[in-house]
Protein backbone atom coordinates (compact mmCIF):
# COMPACT_ATOMS: atom_id res chain seq x y z
CA UNK A 1 0.00 0.00 0.00
CA UNK A 2 1.35 3.41 -1.00
CA UNK A 3 2.18 5.74 1.87
CA UNK A 4 -0.01 8.82 2.20
CA UNK A 5 0.97 12.18 0.75
CA UNK A 6 -0.35 15.69 1.30
CA UNK A 7 -1.50 18.24 -1.28
CA UNK A 8 -1.87 21.96 -0.60
CA UNK A 9 -1.43 25.38 -2.21
CA UNK A 10 0.91 28.20 -1.35
CA UNK A 11 -0.55 31.68 -0.87
CA UNK A 12 0.24 32.53 -4.52
CA UNK A 13 -1.52 29.47 -5.96
CA UNK A 14 1.46 27.15 -6.55
CA UNK A 15 0.33 23.59 -5.84
CA UNK A 16 2.47 21.37 -3.62
CA UNK A 17 2.56 17.62 -3.04
CA UNK A 18 4.67 16.18 -0.22
CA UNK A 19 5.33 12.69 1.06
CA UNK A 20 7.23 12.35 4.33
CA UNK A 21 9.70 9.47 4.49
CA UNK A 22 12.27 8.22 6.98
CA UNK A 23 15.11 8.09 4.44
CA UNK A 24 18.24 10.27 4.76
CA UNK A 25 18.03 11.41 1.12
CA UNK A 26 15.33 13.85 0.00
CA UNK A 27 14.09 14.89 -3.44
CA UNK A 28 12.24 18.02 -4.50
CA UNK A 29 11.44 19.75 -7.75
CA UNK A 30 9.53 22.51 -9.47
CA UNK A 31 7.51 21.33 -12.49
CA UNK A 32 6.06 23.89 -14.88
CA UNK A 33 3.32 23.37 -17.45
CA UNK A 34 5.45 24.81 -20.27
CA UNK A 35 7.31 23.01 -23.01
CA UNK A 36 8.19 23.06 -26.69
CA UNK A 37 4.54 22.88 -27.82
CA UNK A 38 4.00 26.30 -26.21
CA UNK A 39 6.59 27.99 -28.41
CA UNK A 40 5.42 30.57 -30.93
CA UNK A 41 6.78 30.98 -34.44
CA UNK A 42 10.47 31.78 -34.23
CA UNK A 43 10.74 30.41 -30.67
CA UNK A 44 11.41 26.80 -31.67
CA UNK A 45 13.73 25.31 -29.03
CA UNK A 46 13.45 28.17 -26.56
CA UNK A 47 11.90 26.13 -23.73
CA UNK A 48 14.87 23.76 -23.83
CA UNK A 49 17.36 26.60 -24.23
CA UNK A 50 15.95 28.33 -21.14
CA UNK A 51 16.42 25.08 -19.22
CA UNK A 52 20.14 25.37 -20.09
CA UNK A 53 20.50 29.12 -19.70
CA UNK A 54 18.73 29.31 -16.36
CA UNK A 55 21.81 27.80 -14.68
CA UNK A 56 24.09 30.52 -16.02
CA UNK A 57 23.48 33.26 -13.51
CA UNK A 58 20.90 34.94 -11.28
CA UNK A 59 20.71 38.33 -9.61
CA UNK A 60 22.97 37.07 -6.82
CA UNK A 61 24.83 34.05 -8.26
CA UNK A 62 27.18 33.35 -11.13
CA UNK A 63 27.11 30.06 -13.02
CA UNK A 64 29.82 28.45 -10.88
CA UNK A 65 28.01 29.28 -7.66
CA UNK A 66 24.79 27.73 -8.98
CA UNK A 67 26.51 24.51 -10.03
CA UNK A 68 28.60 24.32 -6.86
CA UNK A 69 25.72 24.97 -4.46
CA UNK A 70 24.43 21.36 -4.41
CA UNK A 71 27.59 19.64 -5.62
CA UNK A 72 29.52 20.89 -2.62
CA UNK A 73 27.26 18.95 -0.23
CA UNK A 74 27.08 15.81 -2.39
CA UNK A 75 23.70 16.67 -3.88
CA UNK A 76 22.46 16.74 -7.46
CA UNK A 77 20.78 19.58 -9.33
CA UNK A 78 19.23 18.79 -12.69
CA UNK A 79 16.54 19.76 -15.19
CA UNK A 80 14.70 18.49 -18.25
CA UNK A 81 12.32 19.74 -20.92
CA UNK A 82 9.59 17.85 -22.79
CA UNK A 83 6.91 18.87 -25.26
CA UNK A 84 4.72 20.10 -22.39
CA UNK A 85 6.84 20.30 -19.23
CA UNK A 86 9.93 22.01 -17.84
CA UNK A 87 11.29 20.69 -14.54
CA UNK A 88 14.07 21.79 -12.17
CA UNK A 89 14.84 19.33 -9.37
CA UNK A 90 17.38 18.25 -6.79
CA UNK A 91 18.36 15.27 -4.64
CA UNK A 92 20.23 15.86 -1.37
CA UNK A 93 20.67 14.89 2.25
CA UNK A 94 17.62 15.95 4.25
CA UNK A 95 19.54 18.56 6.24
CA UNK A 96 19.93 20.61 3.04
CA UNK A 97 16.24 21.20 2.28
CA UNK A 98 16.68 24.98 2.67
CA UNK A 99 19.65 25.01 0.34
CA UNK A 100 17.83 23.05 -2.38
CA UNK A 101 14.54 24.95 -2.20
CA UNK A 102 16.21 28.37 -2.15
CA UNK A 103 18.40 27.44 -5.13
CA UNK A 104 15.54 26.09 -7.25
CA UNK A 105 13.54 29.22 -6.49
CA UNK A 106 16.48 31.48 -7.33
CA UNK A 107 17.26 29.99 -10.74
CA UNK A 108 13.59 29.66 -11.70
CA UNK A 109 12.54 33.23 -10.92
CA UNK A 110 15.70 35.34 -10.76
CA UNK A 111 17.63 34.21 -13.83
CA UNK A 112 19.59 37.03 -15.46
CA UNK A 113 20.52 35.29 -18.74
CA UNK A 114 23.87 37.12 -19.13
CA UNK A 115 24.73 37.75 -22.81
CA UNK A 116 28.23 36.27 -22.53
CA UNK A 117 26.86 33.03 -21.04
CA UNK A 118 24.05 32.82 -23.61
CA UNK A 119 26.60 32.98 -26.41
CA UNK A 120 28.52 30.05 -24.94
CA UNK A 121 25.40 28.03 -24.22
CA UNK A 122 24.18 28.41 -27.78
CA UNK A 123 27.24 26.49 -28.92
CA UNK A 124 26.47 23.75 -26.39
CA UNK A 125 22.90 23.36 -27.65
CA UNK A 126 23.99 23.53 -31.30
CA UNK A 127 26.43 20.73 -30.56
CA UNK A 128 23.56 18.78 -28.96
CA UNK A 129 21.57 19.19 -32.18
CA UNK A 130 24.53 17.89 -34.21
CA UNK A 131 24.79 14.83 -31.93
CA UNK A 132 21.17 14.01 -32.77
CA UNK A 133 21.78 14.51 -36.48
CA UNK A 134 24.74 12.13 -36.23
CA UNK A 135 22.49 9.44 -34.72
CA UNK A 136 19.79 8.25 -37.16
CA UNK A 137 18.14 6.10 -34.47
CA UNK A 138 17.57 9.29 -32.44
CA UNK A 139 16.83 11.67 -35.30
CA UNK A 140 14.12 9.43 -36.74
CA UNK A 141 12.01 9.83 -33.59
CA UNK A 142 11.98 13.63 -33.94
CA UNK A 143 11.35 13.49 -37.67
CA UNK A 144 8.55 10.97 -37.21
CA UNK A 145 6.79 13.13 -34.62
CA UNK A 146 7.02 16.02 -37.06
CA UNK A 147 5.39 13.80 -39.68
CA UNK A 148 2.56 12.61 -37.41
CA UNK A 149 1.89 16.10 -35.98
CA UNK A 150 2.60 17.91 -39.24
CA UNK A 151 2.02 21.66 -38.91
CA UNK A 152 1.47 21.55 -35.14
CA UNK A 153 3.85 22.58 -32.35
CA UNK A 154 3.93 18.99 -31.07
CA UNK A 155 5.87 18.10 -34.19
CA UNK A 156 8.69 20.53 -33.46
CA UNK A 157 11.97 19.20 -32.11
CA UNK A 158 12.49 20.09 -28.46
CA UNK A 159 16.02 21.21 -29.38
CA UNK A 160 14.86 23.65 -32.04
CA UNK A 161 16.86 24.47 -35.16
CA UNK A 162 20.29 26.03 -35.68
CA UNK A 163 18.61 29.19 -37.00
CA UNK A 164 16.18 29.56 -34.10
CA UNK A 165 18.78 28.85 -31.39
CA UNK A 166 21.22 31.38 -32.84
CA UNK A 167 18.48 34.03 -32.83
CA UNK A 168 17.66 33.86 -29.09
CA UNK A 169 18.45 36.83 -26.86
CA UNK A 170 17.72 37.80 -23.26
CA UNK A 171 14.44 39.50 -24.16
CA UNK A 172 13.17 36.37 -25.95
CA UNK A 173 13.90 34.25 -22.88
CA UNK A 174 12.29 36.69 -20.45
CA UNK A 175 9.22 37.02 -22.69
CA UNK A 176 8.75 33.24 -22.71
CA UNK A 177 9.19 32.82 -18.96
CA UNK A 178 6.92 35.77 -18.10
CA UNK A 179 4.25 34.36 -20.40
CA UNK A 180 4.40 30.75 -19.24
CA UNK A 181 6.15 30.46 -15.85
CA UNK A 182 2.90 31.19 -14.00
CA UNK A 183 2.07 30.20 -10.45
CA UNK A 184 -1.21 28.52 -11.44
CA UNK A 185 0.69 26.29 -13.88
CA UNK A 186 3.34 25.12 -11.41
CA UNK A 187 3.71 22.20 -9.01
CA UNK A 188 6.33 21.73 -6.30
CA UNK A 189 6.90 18.10 -5.36
CA UNK A 190 8.78 16.86 -2.31
CA UNK A 191 9.66 13.40 -0.98
CA UNK A 192 11.79 13.45 2.15
CA UNK A 193 12.11 13.34 5.91
CA UNK A 194 10.56 16.68 6.79
CA UNK A 195 7.25 17.46 8.47
CA UNK A 196 4.45 19.06 6.50
CA UNK A 197 4.47 22.13 8.76
CA UNK A 198 8.19 22.75 8.37
CA UNK A 199 8.00 22.28 4.60
CA UNK A 200 5.11 24.74 4.28
CA UNK A 201 7.09 27.37 6.16
CA UNK A 202 10.16 26.86 3.97
CA UNK A 203 8.15 26.95 0.74
CA UNK A 204 6.37 30.17 1.72
CA UNK A 205 9.78 31.63 2.56
CA UNK A 206 11.40 30.73 -0.77
CA UNK A 207 8.47 30.62 -3.20
CA UNK A 208 5.81 32.77 -1.51
CA UNK A 209 7.01 36.00 -3.11
CA UNK A 210 6.51 34.61 -6.63
CA UNK A 211 3.68 36.73 -8.07
CA UNK A 212 0.27 35.07 -8.20
CA UNK A 213 -0.85 34.87 -11.81
CA UNK A 214 -4.35 33.65 -12.50
CA UNK A 215 -4.76 35.46 -15.81
CA UNK A 216 -5.95 33.32 -18.68
CA UNK A 217 -2.87 33.58 -20.89
CA UNK A 218 -2.51 29.88 -21.60
CA UNK A 219 -3.03 29.65 -25.37
CA UNK A 220 -1.93 26.04 -25.99
CA UNK A 221 -3.21 25.02 -29.43
CA UNK A 222 -5.02 21.68 -29.40
CA UNK A 223 -4.14 19.02 -31.95
CA UNK A 224 -6.86 17.95 -34.38
CA UNK A 225 -6.00 14.58 -35.88
CA UNK A 226 -6.75 15.29 -39.51
CA UNK A 227 -3.25 14.78 -40.93
CA UNK A 228 -3.22 12.52 -44.04
CA UNK A 229 -1.03 9.44 -43.51
CA UNK A 230 2.30 9.48 -45.32
CA UNK A 231 4.94 6.95 -46.32
CA UNK A 232 8.26 8.80 -46.41
CA UNK A 233 11.64 7.38 -47.38
CA UNK A 234 15.02 9.13 -47.09
CA UNK A 235 18.45 7.87 -48.16
CA UNK A 236 21.10 7.97 -45.44
CA UNK A 237 24.82 7.28 -45.50
CA UNK A 238 24.48 4.46 -42.96
CA UNK A 239 24.75 0.69 -43.02
CA UNK A 240 21.47 0.15 -41.19
CA UNK A 241 17.99 1.02 -42.33
CA UNK A 242 15.84 2.63 -39.63
CA UNK A 243 12.07 2.51 -39.76
CA UNK A 244 9.27 4.05 -37.72
CA UNK A 245 5.54 3.50 -38.07
CA UNK A 246 2.59 4.67 -36.01
CA UNK A 247 -0.13 7.26 -35.57
CA UNK A 248 -1.77 9.80 -33.27
CA UNK A 249 -3.79 8.10 -30.50
CA UNK A 250 -5.41 8.76 -27.10
CA UNK A 251 -4.22 11.57 -24.86
CA UNK A 252 -3.34 11.40 -21.16
CA UNK A 253 -6.92 11.82 -19.92
CA UNK A 254 -8.67 9.37 -22.25
CA UNK A 255 -10.61 6.58 -20.48
CA UNK A 256 -9.05 3.92 -22.75
CA UNK A 257 -5.50 5.07 -22.10
CA UNK A 258 -4.65 2.22 -19.72
CA UNK A 259 -5.85 -0.37 -22.22
CA UNK A 260 -3.52 1.08 -24.83
CA UNK A 261 -0.66 1.15 -22.31
CA UNK A 262 -1.21 -2.56 -21.68
CA UNK A 263 -1.42 -3.31 -25.41
CA UNK A 264 1.78 -1.41 -26.10
CA UNK A 265 3.50 -3.27 -23.27
CA UNK A 266 2.45 -6.58 -24.85
CA UNK A 267 3.51 -5.49 -28.32
CA UNK A 268 6.93 -3.95 -27.75
CA UNK A 269 7.36 -2.52 -24.27
CA UNK A 270 10.54 -2.57 -22.16
CA UNK A 271 10.54 -6.30 -21.33
CA UNK A 272 12.33 -9.01 -23.35
CA UNK A 273 9.20 -11.17 -23.78
CA UNK A 274 7.24 -8.74 -25.96
CA UNK A 275 5.65 -9.94 -29.19
CA UNK A 276 8.00 -7.88 -31.33
CA UNK A 277 11.13 -9.01 -29.52
CA UNK A 278 10.17 -12.70 -29.50
CA UNK A 279 8.69 -12.94 -32.99
CA UNK A 280 10.94 -10.61 -34.95
CA UNK A 281 14.26 -10.38 -33.13
CA UNK A 282 14.54 -13.76 -31.43
CA UNK A 283 12.69 -15.94 -33.96
CA UNK A 284 14.29 -14.62 -37.14
CA UNK A 285 17.28 -12.57 -36.01
CA UNK A 286 16.26 -9.77 -38.37
CA UNK A 287 17.00 -6.93 -36.00
CA UNK A 288 18.95 -6.07 -32.87
CA UNK A 289 16.65 -3.22 -31.86
CA UNK A 290 12.86 -3.27 -32.13
CA UNK A 291 10.36 -1.66 -29.74
CA UNK A 292 7.09 0.21 -29.47
CA UNK A 293 6.25 3.37 -27.53
CA UNK A 294 3.12 5.11 -26.37
CA UNK A 295 3.70 8.80 -25.58
CA UNK A 296 0.84 10.80 -24.06
CA UNK A 297 0.22 14.53 -24.12
CA UNK A 298 -2.59 16.53 -22.54
CA UNK A 299 -4.91 16.29 -25.55
CA UNK A 300 -3.43 13.57 -27.76
CA UNK A 301 -0.78 10.87 -27.89
CA UNK A 302 1.40 8.90 -30.29
CA UNK A 303 1.84 5.17 -30.77
CA UNK A 304 5.07 4.35 -32.58
CA UNK A 305 7.10 1.28 -33.50
CA UNK A 306 10.83 1.56 -34.19
CA UNK A 307 13.18 -0.96 -35.75
CA UNK A 308 16.72 -0.86 -37.07
CA UNK A 309 17.90 -3.60 -39.42
CA UNK A 310 20.10 -4.57 -42.34
CA UNK A 311 18.61 -3.04 -45.51
CA UNK A 312 17.95 -6.50 -46.98
CA UNK A 313 15.71 -7.42 -44.04
CA UNK A 314 13.62 -4.28 -43.73
CA UNK A 315 10.61 -5.48 -45.77
CA UNK A 316 10.54 -8.79 -43.90
CA UNK A 317 10.73 -6.91 -40.59
CA UNK A 318 7.80 -4.68 -41.50
CA UNK A 319 5.71 -7.67 -42.60
CA UNK A 320 6.52 -9.45 -39.33
CA UNK A 321 5.40 -6.37 -37.38
CA UNK A 322 2.16 -6.31 -39.37
CA UNK A 323 1.54 -9.96 -38.43
CA UNK A 324 1.81 -9.11 -34.73
CA UNK A 325 -0.54 -6.15 -35.12
CA UNK A 326 -3.04 -8.35 -36.94
CA UNK A 327 -2.83 -10.92 -34.15
CA UNK A 328 -3.67 -8.28 -31.55
CA UNK A 329 -6.66 -7.16 -33.63
CA UNK A 330 -8.02 -10.62 -34.38
CA UNK A 331 -7.08 -13.03 -31.58
CA UNK A 332 -8.63 -12.52 -28.17
CA UNK A 333 -6.20 -13.17 -25.33
CA UNK A 334 -6.90 -16.19 -23.17
CA UNK A 335 -7.66 -15.54 -19.48
CA UNK A 336 -4.27 -16.98 -18.53
CA UNK A 337 -2.29 -14.81 -20.97
CA UNK A 338 -4.27 -11.72 -20.05
CA UNK A 339 -3.60 -12.31 -16.36
CA UNK A 340 0.14 -12.77 -16.98
CA UNK A 341 0.38 -9.62 -19.10
CA UNK A 342 -1.44 -7.64 -16.42
CA UNK A 343 0.91 -8.96 -13.74
CA UNK A 344 3.88 -7.85 -15.82
CA UNK A 345 2.61 -4.30 -16.29
CA UNK A 346 1.57 -3.99 -12.65
CA UNK A 347 5.01 -5.13 -11.54
CA UNK A 348 6.73 -2.62 -13.80
CA UNK A 349 4.58 0.22 -12.45
CA UNK A 350 5.13 -0.80 -8.83
CA UNK A 351 8.90 -1.04 -9.34
CA UNK A 352 9.01 2.40 -10.94
CA UNK A 353 7.47 3.87 -7.78
CA UNK A 354 10.10 2.31 -5.50
CA UNK A 355 12.69 4.97 -6.28
CA UNK A 356 11.87 8.12 -4.32
CA UNK A 357 13.40 10.40 -6.94
CA UNK A 358 11.16 8.90 -9.62
CA UNK A 359 8.22 9.04 -7.22
CA UNK A 360 8.76 12.76 -6.65
CA UNK A 361 8.66 13.41 -10.40
CA UNK A 362 5.62 11.15 -10.83
CA UNK A 363 3.71 13.05 -8.14
CA UNK A 364 4.53 16.37 -9.80
CA UNK A 365 3.49 15.24 -13.27
CA UNK A 366 0.30 13.60 -12.03
CA UNK A 367 -0.78 16.70 -10.11
CA UNK A 368 0.11 18.97 -13.03
CA UNK A 369 -1.68 16.81 -15.62
CA UNK A 370 -4.72 15.50 -13.74
CA UNK A 371 -5.11 17.88 -10.83
CA UNK A 372 -4.64 15.02 -8.37
CA UNK A 373 -2.33 12.08 -7.61
CA UNK A 374 -3.24 8.75 -9.12
CA UNK A 375 -2.33 6.30 -6.39
CA UNK A 376 -0.47 3.18 -7.42
CA UNK A 377 -2.99 0.76 -5.88
CA UNK A 378 -5.86 2.47 -7.73
CA UNK A 379 -3.98 2.24 -11.03
CA UNK A 380 -3.35 -1.47 -10.43
CA UNK A 381 -7.05 -1.98 -9.73
CA UNK A 382 -7.91 -0.25 -13.03
CA UNK A 383 -5.51 -2.57 -14.87
CA UNK A 384 -7.26 -5.58 -13.31
CA UNK A 385 -10.56 -4.31 -14.74
CA UNK A 386 -9.31 -4.39 -18.35
CA UNK A 387 -10.91 -7.23 -20.35
CA UNK A 388 -9.72 -9.12 -23.43
CA UNK A 389 -12.62 -7.50 -25.29
CA UNK A 390 -11.33 -4.05 -24.28
CA UNK A 391 -7.93 -4.85 -25.79
CA UNK A 392 -9.47 -6.12 -29.04
CA UNK A 393 -11.51 -2.93 -29.32
CA UNK A 394 -8.50 -0.66 -28.79
CA UNK A 395 -6.29 -2.75 -31.10
CA UNK A 396 -8.86 -2.47 -33.90
CA UNK A 397 -9.12 1.27 -33.31
CA UNK A 398 -5.41 2.10 -33.23
CA UNK A 399 -3.30 -0.87 -34.38
CA UNK A 400 -4.24 -1.17 -38.03
CA UNK A 401 -1.08 -0.78 -40.08
CA UNK A 402 -3.13 0.70 -42.95
CA UNK A 403 -3.75 3.79 -40.78
CA UNK A 404 -0.07 4.23 -39.93
CA UNK A 405 2.44 6.82 -41.00
CA UNK A 406 5.77 5.31 -42.15
CA UNK A 407 9.22 6.86 -42.14
CA UNK A 408 12.33 5.07 -43.45
CA UNK A 409 15.94 6.16 -43.15
CA UNK A 410 17.30 3.80 -45.80
CA UNK A 411 20.89 2.68 -45.50
CA UNK A 412 23.38 1.65 -48.14
CA UNK A 413 22.39 -1.09 -50.59
CA UNK A 414 18.69 -0.76 -49.76
Which candidate in 39, 43, 44, 51 is catalytic? 51
- Listing DSSP states for 15-34 in one string gives EEEEEE-S-SEEEEEEEES-
Kindly list the strands in the beta sheet with 25-32, ordered across the sheet, starting from the edge strand earlier in the chain: 6-9, 15-20, 186-192, 25-32, 86-93, 76-81
Q: Is 51 a catalytic residue?
A: yes
For the chain, the distance separating the N- and C-terminal CA atoms, rounded to the nearest angstrom, is 53
* DSSP assignment letter at 273: T
Neighbour-count burial for 340-367, b at 16+ CB within 10 Å, e otherwise = ebbebbbeebeeeeeebbebbbbbbbbb
3-class state of residue 80 by DSSP = strand
Instruction: Specify burial of residue 402 (Cβ count, 10 A radius: 0-12, 13-18, 19+).
Output: exposed
Task: Give φ, ψ of 102 to 5 degrees.
Answer: -65, -40
Q: In 3-state terms, what secondary structure has residue 209?
A: coil
Helix (H, G, I), strand (E, B) or coil at 376: helix
Nearest to 225 by CA among 252, 247, 254: 247
Phi, psi at residue 165, to the nearest 5°? Answer: -65, -40
**18 Cβ partners below 8 Å, 6+ apart?**
5, 6, 189, 190, 191, 194, 196, 199
Ramachandran sector of residue 71 (left: φ over 0; alpha: ψ -120 to 50; beta: rest): alpha
Query: What does the alpha-carbon distance between residue 181 and residue 329 come to, in Å, rounded to a whole number?
Result: 44
- β-pairing, 287-296 vs 405-410, is unpaired
Longest CA span, the chain = 66
Cite the active site residues.
51
Amino acid sequence: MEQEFSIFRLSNGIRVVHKQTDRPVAHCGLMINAGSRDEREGEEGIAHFIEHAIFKGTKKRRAFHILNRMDSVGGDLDAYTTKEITCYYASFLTEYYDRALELISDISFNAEFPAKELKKEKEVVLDEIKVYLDSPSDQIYDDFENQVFDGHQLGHSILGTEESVRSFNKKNLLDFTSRLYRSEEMVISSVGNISLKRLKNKLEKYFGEVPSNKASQFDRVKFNNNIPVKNVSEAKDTYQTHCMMGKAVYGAKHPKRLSLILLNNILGGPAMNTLLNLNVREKYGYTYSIESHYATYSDTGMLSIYLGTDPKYVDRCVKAVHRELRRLREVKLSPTKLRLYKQQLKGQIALSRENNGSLMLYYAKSLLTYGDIRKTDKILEKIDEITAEDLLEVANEHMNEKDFHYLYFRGKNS
